[in-house]
């Protein structure tokens, strides 16, 4: 099956710092999403980004589908950004692959005040 | 819109007991699915459905049953709970691609934390 690798596994920042999280995947994809799992366990949708670049406030994401990677940028980090960031992809074969998200292991982000 | 809702939030079972985790969505999504998340891991797909009356297995289906009698609801049944099923369970839903649109962003419920003793 498709492999999804996220890096770094852990990241510790001071408030105000910037960071880049990476997601590599092993095959072509129909869907790629970034999620933030907050300390209460909720999965928050950050970006639906099978290709291209999107921005939402201090967060932005870029997916280069032809090179099989996606980047999540967090600028001016805040303590509320702490949690686990997941990348999830849907294999691009269509048909029986539809909707089956494969998750990476996540990046644990800790932002200190 | 309430989005995707799940009940209960927490549940403790004894080995061998059965129970049903409830999931509902009010976004008229055709596609619904169940995932489990174990400590330090991402989510793994248990079962999914592309519409009422249609279900199929995901990556880790053993020990779980599902049915889809309506578009809105997709319950997950544990027939005989085992300690290995201790996990956090998430339900998700999305549109199916239609015509020229490939949009299928998935939305997740708040999760059910299940402990099997």
Confidence of residue B41 (pLDDT cuts 50, 70, 90): confident
Confidence of residue A41 (pLDDT cuts 50, 70, 90): very high
Phi and psi of B39, rounded to 5°?
Answer: -50, 130
Please indicate whether, in this complex, the C-beta atoms of A45 and B107 are within 8 angstroms of each other. yes
Q: Would you state the pLDDT for residue B39?
A: 85
- Residue of B39, B54, B106 for testing the chain A interface, max A β-carbons within 10 Å: B106
What's the rounded Cα separation, in Å, for the pair A85 and B6? 22
Q: What percent of chain B has pLDDT over 90?
A: 85
Residue-wise pLDDT tens digits, B56-112: 999 999 999 999 999 999 999 999 999 999 999 999 999 887 655 677 899 999 999
Cα dist. A85→A20, A24, B62, B67 in Å? 11, 14, 28, 31
HEC-encoded secondary structure of B42-89: CEEEEEEEEECCEEEECCCCCCEEECCCCCCECCEEECCCCHHHCEEE
Q: Would you state the pLDDT for residue B40?
A: 76
Please indicate whether, in this complex, the C-beta atoms of B106 and A103 are within 8 angstroms of each other. no
Q: What percent of chain A has pLDDT over 90?
A: 81
Across the interface, which of A30, A35, A42 has its CB nearest the CB of B110?
Answer: A42
Phi and psi of B34, rounded to 5°?
Answer: -125, 135
Q: Would you state the pLDDT for residue B98?
A: 65
Residue-wise pLDDT tens digits, A82-108: 999 999 998 876 566 677 899 999 999
DSSP category for residue B9: S
Q: What percent of chain A has pLDDT over 70?
A: 96
Give me the residues of B, 1-30, that contact A with CB < 8 A: none
Task: Locate B35 and state its tokens.
Answer: 């995932």
HEC-encoded secondary structure of A55-103: EECCEEEEEEHHHCEEEEEECCCCHHHCEEEEEEEEECCCHHHCCCEEE
Q: Would you state the pLDDT for residue A95?
A: 60
Please indicate whether, in this complex, the C-beta atoms of A105 and B97 are within 8 angstroms of each other. no
Residue B22 has pLDDT above 80, yes or no: yes
Average pLDDT over residues B6-28: 97
Please indicate whether, in this complex, the C-beta atoms of A30 and B102 are within 8 angstroms of each other. yes
B48 in contact with chain A, both atoms CB, cutoff 8 A: yes
Q: Would you state the pLDDT for residue B102?
A: 73
What's the rounded Cα separation, in Å, for the pair A35 and B35? 15
Average pLDDT over residues B24-52: 93
Task: Locate A34 and state its tokens.
Answer: 């970034």
Contact A86, A103 (CB under 8 A): yes
Q: Would you state the pLDDT for residue A58?
A: 97
């Amino acid at each position: 099956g498709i492999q999804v690798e996220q890096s770094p596994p852990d990241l510790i920042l001071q408030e105000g710092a910037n960071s880049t999280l990476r997601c590599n995947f092993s095959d072509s994809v129909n869907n790629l999403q970034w999620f933030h799992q907050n300390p209460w366990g909720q999965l928050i949708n950050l970006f639906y980004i099978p290709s291209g670049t999107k921005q939402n406030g201090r967060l932005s994401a870029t997916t280069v589908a032809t090179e099989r990677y996606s980047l999540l940028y967090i600028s001016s980090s805040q303590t509320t950004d702490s949690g686990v960031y997941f990348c999830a992809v849907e294999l691009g074969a269509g048909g029986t692959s539809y909707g089956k998200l494969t998750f990476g292991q996540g990046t644990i982000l800790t932002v200190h005040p | 819109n309430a989005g995707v809702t799940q009940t209960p939030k927490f549940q403790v079972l004894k080995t061998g007991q059965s129970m049903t985790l409830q999931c509902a969505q009010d976004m008229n999504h055709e596609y619904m699915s169940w995932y489990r998340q174990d400590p330090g891991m991402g989510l793994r797909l248990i079962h999914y459905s592309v519409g009422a009356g249609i279900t199929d297995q995901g990556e880790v289906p053993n020990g779980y049953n599902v049915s889809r009698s309506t578009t809105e609801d997709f319950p997950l049944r544990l027939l005989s709970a085992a300690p290995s099923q201790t996990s956090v369970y998430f339900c998700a839903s999305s549109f199916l691609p239609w015509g020229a649109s490939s949009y299928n962003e998935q939305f997740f419920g708040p999760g059910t934390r299940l402990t099997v003793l």
